Amino acid sequence: MKKILIATGGSGGHVIPSLSIYDALKEEFEIHIATDLRGSRYINNKKYNYSLIDVPNIFSNLFLFPYNLIKFSSSIFRSYKYLRSNNFNTLISTGGYMSLPLCIASKLLNIKIYIFEPNSVLGRTNKFTLNFSKKIICYDKNLKGISGKFLNKIYLIKPLIRKEIYQYKKNEKKVLDDPKKILIIGGSQGAKFFDEYITKLIVKLSKIQNIKVLQQVINTKSKNNIKDLYQKNLIDHEIFDFDEKLLIKAVTCDLAITRSGASSIAELSYLNIPFVAIPFPYAKDNHQYYNAKFYENNQCCWLVMQKDINENNFLNLLAKILKDQDEYFLKKKKLLELTKENTWENNKSKLTGLINEN
């Protein structure tokens, strides 16, 4: 039996897809995950076998660069020992600097390497690792940032989401009843804009629309402030931080306002929840913009740049979406068309077939 290590870490955007890969392959292969401390908070240790590997971000502080470089070099050596002692013969990397030592060590050990890129722009670690990997698993045939000489390494699958999401019934509402249920997903990056500005706009929206709000808020102080504000304005609401069951709870929502991390918008799309995407403007290589642009090009979402948002135009957009519903239901129709071939079994078969090729 092949023994596979999935290297992941950092944000939920890296870790959550790795859990789906784990679930898709665990019946046929022996699977283990290596992650960092940040990534471990997204992993249920009762469901997944994982090890912690500390990898410094060598560019996080220029003054500490020499020290971090030494630590990074040491992590390559520790990764080499870890891979060799556990007899892994395949590595799947979901990108991020945490995975790089394991990728380099795998190359030294002649371990077969696959990389996974859920975004529409090739990440920097994946761009480096692509030089010695067998395939890059991705969703977008027009992946940006990939050299022409590596186009033959692209292995397309449908957006891979959590297994339980596939098992849940899609939102098939034909009528928007009152109250309109709005889901707000600010994520961990650039959440302050959502916590402060978008929250204030939602309060103003509540004066002209009967709404209920389900909102992700990471910061404890912000959470208390938002609760107080919603209570003061008599807005029915539920506030949460990270919740792996979020979108299952939120499937009855009518509209989402969200950053455009690949996993979040893939799950919203599969559940047939139209969304307004506000890409995080400081994301590396502007990948959140290109993630959302893919869905906008397929008439599945509204794409709004954070720099272009002001009180009037954003309120007008939300009011128009909820009042004049022709465009809203066109988005739902297009989402169904886009995701109709995205099934758990299809993606599981594609991933298993790839690993079994050699």
List, as one string, the DSSP characters of 77-136: HHHHHHHHHHT--EEEE--SGGGHHHHHHHHHTT-EEEEEE-SSB--HHHHHHGGG-SEE
Domain ranges of the chain: 3-158+343-355, 166-339
Backbone angles phi, psi at 322, to 5 degrees: -80, -20
What whole-number distance in Å separates Cα of residue 299 and Cα of residue 275?
11
Q: In the prediction, which pLDDT does 190 show?
A: 67
d(CA 126, CA 94): 8
Terminal Cα distance for the chain, rounded:
13
Predicted local confidence at residue 58, as pLDDT: 64
pTM of the predicted model, to two decimals? 0.89
Q: Indicate the fold that domain 166-339 takes in CATH.
A: Rossmann fold (3.40.50)
- Per residue in 128-155, pLDDT (tens digit) is 999 999 999 999 999 999 999 999 999 9
Whose structure tokens read 């060598």? 58
Match 């030494």 to its residue by tokens.
Answer: 70
Fold identical between 3-158+343-355 and 166-339? yes
- Secondary-structure class of domain 3-158+343-355 per CATH: alpha beta
Percent of the chain with pLDDT over 70: 94
pLDDT in tens, 156-213: 999 999 898 888 889 888 888 899 999 999 876 668 899 999 999 999 999 999 999 9
